Structure 1
C-alpha cells in the first residue's frame, strides 16, 4: 500500500473577479449524483471570470436557464447544453459525461432519453482524453487505499463506483485541487463525501455493519459459537464508532479496520501525524467509555 508523501505542487492562479449578480446556491433537493458534476461545473464557472450574460451570448441560451442549470433548478438538464457549457468552461468531457449519465439515471431518466441526448450531439471523440499526468500519478498512489476505506461502508460494486467517481470529480476539479492548501486533503474530502452520500445511515449516523463480517478476527474463527460472539462484539463496536466525529471516524477506520500505519493514514488524509494520533487517542477514549467490557484491547481490535 503506497501513499503520496508530498502533494502535487499547486499552480499560481489569481482569484477571478466577476461583475453582476452573484450565482445562487445549489438547491437542497439536488441529488448526490447530480451534485457530483454540478459542483465542479459551478467551480469552473466561478473560476473562469465569465458572467452569465457573456455565456448566454456565446451559447445562445437564456441567462435565466443557465442560472437554473448551475443551481440544479427545474428538470434534469439535457447533455447538449451541459456539454456546450462545459466546452466554454474548458472542462474535460469524458468524466463529465460519465457523471452526468449516472445522475440522469438517479433522476429516473430512461436509457433511451440518455442515448438520444448523446447521439444527436458531436460531443465525445473516439479516443478518451487522458487526465493530467499528475492526476494519473496521484490516482495510482491512492486508488487501492481509497478502495479499502470505501469497502468498510459499501458493497464491492458501490465501492468501485464511488472510487471511480471520486477520480472523475477530481479530474473535473483538478485545478482547484492543486490550488487548495493540500491536494491530498482536497481529494480525501471528495472521496468521503461520495462514500457517505451512498452509505446507509441510521439516526443520522453511517452504518459500518458491512465491515463486521470481514475483520481479521472473524476470518480466523471457524467454530460457530465464538464466531457469533465476535460478530456481536464487532457490531457493538461499529455502532459506537458511528457516533464519532467525522475526522475521528476516518482515522479509526483507516487504523483499526484497514490496518494502516499512522504515517499512511496521515498521508491519505492530508493531515499531520500528530493530528492522526490525537484523533485516534480521543476516539479510543470515547469508545472505551461506552463499551463494556472495552472492545479495543490489542487482542480484540478488528
Structure 2
C-alpha cells in the first residue's frame, strides 16, 4: 500500500510556525517512506476563507521547499460529495435537525439538573434538546436545508459497535505519534462513551453544507491518505473521525499527532498571532533552514 500524507490548511489567516512544523513533518514522513505528499485547501467555510490567504499558503509552502501533487483538492469543489454522505446518514436516521443557538445550548447544559457544563472535543457537549423532536421516519422525509444537522451519537454507538463480539468491546485506531496524555500504538475507545464524552456533534451547519469532521473523513478517503499528520489538539477528535469512517464504511488511516508549537507563554499558536507568521519570518530574512531549526526538525 502506498504511503500518503497530506497537509490541509484553511485559508482564513496566515500560516504560522505550527503550520510549518505540521507541513514539513508530513512532507518529511512521505519522503522517508517513498510515499506521496498531498495538499488540500479546507475552504468549506466560504465566509471566512479568502483567496489572498490561499495564495499566501502556496507561497509560504513553496518557500519552505515543499512539493505536492497537482491538482490541489479544494473543499469548495466537494460539496456534492458532502451532501451525498449527509443524505446517506439522514436516510439511516442518524441525523436530526437542530435549531438551538449557542446560548440555548449553554443554558440547557448548565441547568441545575444537568450539573456542571461538560466539554468534549467539539466544545460544550450538546444536551440533546432537539434529538427526539422529529417524529416522522427520515426515509419518508427529505433532508432539510439551511438548518444545522446533528449526528445522533447514541444510534452511532449502537451501529459502529454492532459487529463486536461483546458489549463494551473497544474500537481501535493506530497512533504512530503521541496523544496529549502519551497515547501511542493501538489506541482504543468504547462506542458507548461517545454520547457522554463527545455528544451529538454538528455535521452540517445552517450557514454552509458540511462540517470539518465530515469533510476531513470523506476527503482523506477520496485522496487515499494512509497517515494523517496533525497536532495533538486534534487527538480527541479522532474518535469522531473513526466513528464516521465506520458508519460510512471508509478506511481508517493511521494517525500521527505531534506536539504543538507554542508561544513564549506556552500558549498554542493561532492564526491571529502574526508575530509567528511564516511570512513575517520570510520578510525579516529568515531561511527555510532557520524555520526547520525553530520548530525542532532535522535539517535536510
Q: What's the TM-score once normalised by structure 2's chain length?
A: 0.27
Of Structure 1 and Structure 2, the greater strand share is in 2
**Higher relative contact order (Cα pairs below 8 Å, separated by 6+ residues):** 2
TM-score normalised by the chain length of structure 1: 0.27
